[in-house]
Structure 1
Amino acid sequence: MTTSPPWDPVREIAVDPASPEPLYFQVARQLYAAIEDGRLPAGARLANELDLAAGLRLSRPTVRQAIQSLVNEGLLVRRRGVGTQVVRTKVSRPLRLSSLFDDLAGLGGAPSSEVLVNRVEPASAEVATLLEAPSLTSVRRLKRIRSVDGEPLAVMNNYLPDGVIAPLDEELAARGLYELLRQAGIRLHSAQQSIGARVATEEDAALLAEQPGAALLTMQRTTYDETGRVVEYGWHVYRASRYSFNLSLQ
């Protein structure tokens, strides 16, 4: 069995000084493509800036800017004594009625959850409105940190009408919420969803291994069963450096 040689940026990257595209962006774009398609796998090290600049016949500031742009996107990391390494590629999730846990497993990752909250509590008027059930008196409140391959990716918050399901912490840690709902005989039909962005608070940063002020994606989702009943309302935050949504338009 033969293996292909490691991807060599000096040999593979081509830059065109006559192009209107900045030189640093040309380098960053080609590095990004190599990371995305696996030619530069997680853990691969880049040559130092001086060697890359010499090999590509570019200035060191140009190479530094290219590398820094990918560091800012979370695809590269600089480690003292190690150099510049590729980290895991960003999770790209399609917009569909599925749980993050199931999507991560389908992408070949090893998803896991840390359950922070799993309890029944009184339903405030605001929560009853979110669940479109004005007479609701109690709800199940869930809060979990979702990780992939041991790296925190999102903080998941959910309200469910009390009595829909009563999952154990062990079940929530090992499986997706929608899987548990389907197992309980609930037929999910549709959802209303909105996506936004904000910066990380101190609490977000501590839970997601980010810096305060880092960019986060947000999502709010109201999910309905086939009878039109709301079975869960979720509000989640995701690390923008490691996560994106895909949307197909027709």
Structure 2
Amino acid sequence: MEPLTKKITIDRSSPVPLYFQFAQQLQNLIEAGELPPGTKLSNEIVMADEFGLSRPTMRQAMQHLVNKGLLARKRGVGTQVVTNRIRRQVEFTSLYEDLERDGRRPTTQVLTVETAPAEAAVATALGLEEGQPVVSIERLRLADDQPIALLHNYLPEGVIELDLEALAEGGLYQQMRRSGAALSTAEQTIGARRATAAEARLLDEARGATLLTMTRTAFDGSGKPVEYGSHVYRASRYSFEMTVAAH
């Protein structure tokens, strides 16, 4: 592979910060496939010397790309390019459908399926009394054999008869539609928080790593809530995208 010094040029007369010049050009190389996933980079001290940059400037450039999910630092391995982050449009589709459409080979591990009393947040979202029974589903969603999201879904009793085999092989919304449950609209909220120890273990992340969160309530054509989801996603491998219009 041609050395990075042949591919990246630093313009010291430019008003663009030096760290951003380096990070942007390295990002372009990654996204163009010239630095495929798994490519190991020299350590920051060596690269700083190669490009005539200070060590803090190089550290800032590398951290910028770590934060964007394009690089990962691994103890004993160093810094390397990681699989491109999955970008999901914010629309009324399931994660399984989005991954399948993106050619990312989704698979599912069904962790638990049980009938349980609705906690306050679940009951409020589904228009039920707290403590009323709901069907609780917990799944781990993978893309190309890499864990991406931990999904918790709650359904009022009687919405559908769950097929556990189909649940492991496809998406919940697909099964709901096949069962005749009409999905019309949804309300959702996106946020972020730190991973718990259990979440970090399941998602192959460091304890306390940042996770994206999404809660969603789905409604049928009459406006009745038929599903509530509370999901967490690996921020290092996943992002939400949306299109906004000016008025």
Report the Cα offset of residue 232 of structure 1. Answer: 0.3
Deviation at 1:54, TM superposition (A): 5.2
- Is 1:242 the counterpart of 2:217? The answer is no
- 1:22 positional shift: 2.2
Q: Which residue in the other structure is 2:157 paired with?
A: 162
Counterpart check, 1:10 vs 2:1:
no
The size of the alignment, in residue pairs, is 245
Q: Who is 1:192 aligned against?
A: 187
| TM-aligned CA deviation for residue 55 of structure 1 | 4.8
Determine if contact 1:7/1:39 at 8 Å carries over to the other structure: no
Are 2:71 and 1:76 aligned?
yes
Matched, 1:31 2:41: no
1:206 corresponding residue in structure 2: 201
Q: CA deviation at 1:157?
A: 0.6
- Corresponding residue number in structure 1 for 2:89: 94
Match of 1:181 among 176, 183, 186: 176
Q: Does 1:138 align with 2:111?
A: no
Which 5+ residue runs of structure 2 have no aligned equivalent? none
TM-fit CA distance, 1:176: 0.9
Mark the CA change 1:83 to 1:90 in structure 2 (over 3 Å): closer, same or farther: same
RMSD: 2.5
Unaligned runs of 5+ in 1: 1-5
Q: Give the SS at the match of 1:32.
A: helix
1:114 aligned to 109, 115, 127, which one? 109
Contact preservation (8 Å) 2:151, 2:229? yes
Cα distance change on mapping 1:78 and 1:213 into 2, 3 Å: closer
- Alignment of 1:233 with 2:238, yes or no, is no
Residue 184 of structure 1 and its aligned partner are, at CA, apart by: 1.1
User: Cα distance, 1:7 vs. partner?
Assistant: 6.8
Q: 1-side partners of 2:72 and 2:43: how far apart?
A: 13
Question: If the length of structure 2 is used for normalisation, what is the TM-score?
Answer: 0.87
Measured after TM superposition, the shift of residue 99 of structure 1 is 0.5
| CA distance, structure 2, for counterparts of residue 109 and residue 36 of structure 1 | 17
Asked whether the equivalents of residues 7 and 40 of structure 1 are also in contact (C-alpha less than 8 Å), the reply is no
Q: Secondary structure at the residue paired with 2:41?
A: coil
1:188 partner SS? coil
TM-fit CA distance, 1:220: 0.8
CA contact (8 A) 1:219 1:236 kept: yes
Tell whether 2:217 aligns with 1:222.
Answer: yes
- 1:149 aligned residue (144, 152, 165): 144
Q: Tell me, yes or no, if the aligned pair for 2:149 and 2:234 is still in contact at 8 Å.
A: yes
Measure, in 2, the Cα distance between the counterparts of 1:19 and 1:211. 38
SS of structure 1 residue aligned to 2:184: strand
Identity of aligned residues (%): 49
Deviation (angstroms), 1:48 = 5.1
TM-score normalized by structure 1? 0.86
Question: Can you list the C-alpha shifts for 1:9-29, whole angstroms capped at 9, x where unaligned?
Answer: 322222221223321221112
Aligned residue identity for 1:249: V
